[in-house]
């Protein structure tokens, strides 16, 4: 059982950072709604507020790690240009997709959208975390502010969903390959 360094980084970007960020949304959205809903029962304890703050900060870190690893580590492998004369494009995902009309739109629409829309998420989520931590339960006094916080949190979720879904499809049609081989486990082949 082996994996290449490029595979490993792609998994870390998509599953380690991106998917974990997506998974964290359900908890964050419920909690943000709970503290900001009008007529919500008791005030959150200081410990609860600290925990929510830490949770949101962790989400912000995951969001930034996802976009930075995607843009500055994975993307250069994706857009690598094959040397003159190379006909096997398996190691050059962008060129591989563009080489056929059946797959070119996965790049022209899918990758182009993914690489830009994903950046909405960390910007939006940083604001959500900042406002939530700064105002805490007092956000109940600012109706329009909590509308924005919830709207931007949902927008971050949608943006991440778009980027993640296209990432999964792109990795199916033109996976990132290459790098050094890491042997995880040695089996007994027949």
Partner 1 sequence: MNTSQKPVEFGKIVETIPNGPGAAAILAAGIGCAAIGVLAFASELSPGLRGLLNFYNPVGPLSGKTTVTIIVWLVAWYGLSRIWQRETVNMRAVNVAALVLLGIGFLLTFPPFWYLFV
- Three-state SS for 182? strand
Per CB under 8 A, contacts with partner 1 among 76-135 are: 76, 79, 108-109, 112-113, 115-117, 119-120, 123-124, 126-127, 130-131, 134-135
Residue holding tokens 């049609």?
A: 173
**According to the binding rule CB under 8 A, does residue 41 interact with partner 1?**
yes
3-state secondary structure of 85: coil
Rg (CA), the chain: 21
- Which of 54, 90, 138, 182 touches partner 1 (CB under 8 A)? 138
The yes or no reply on residue 149 touching partner 1 (CB under 8 A) is yes
Residue 173 near partner 1 by CB under 8 A: no
Q: Is 153 in the site for partner 1 (CB under 8 A)?
A: no
Closest distance of CB 129 from partner 1, Å: 10
Distance between CA atoms of residues 64 and 17, nearest Å: 9
d(CA 45, CA 55): 15
Check binding of 35 to partner 1 (CB under 8 A).
no
């Amino acid at each position: 059982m082996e994996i290449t360094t490029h595979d490993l980084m792609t998994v870390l970007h998509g599953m380690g950072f991106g998917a974990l960020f997506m998974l964290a949304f359900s908890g964050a959205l419920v909690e943000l709604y709970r503290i900001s809903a009008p007529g919500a029962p008791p005030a959150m304890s200081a410990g609860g507020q600290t925990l929510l703050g830490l949770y949101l900060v962790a989400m912000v870190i995951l969001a930034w790690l996802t976009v930075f690893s995607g843009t500055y580590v994975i993307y250069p492998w994706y857009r690598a240009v094959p040397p003159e004369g190379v006909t096997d494009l398996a190691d050059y995902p962008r060129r591989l997709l563009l080489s056929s009309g059946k797959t070119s739109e996965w790049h022209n629409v899918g990758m182009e959208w993914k690489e830009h829309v994903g950046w909405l998420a960390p910007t939006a989520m940083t604001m959500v975390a900042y406002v939530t931590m700064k105002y805490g339960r007092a956000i109940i006094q600012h109706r329009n502010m909590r509308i924005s916080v919830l709207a931007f949190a949902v927008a971050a979720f949608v943006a991440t969903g778009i980027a993640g879904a296209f990432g999964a499809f792109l990795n199916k049609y033109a996976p990132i390959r290459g790098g050094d081989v890491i042997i995880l486990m040695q089996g007994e082949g027949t």
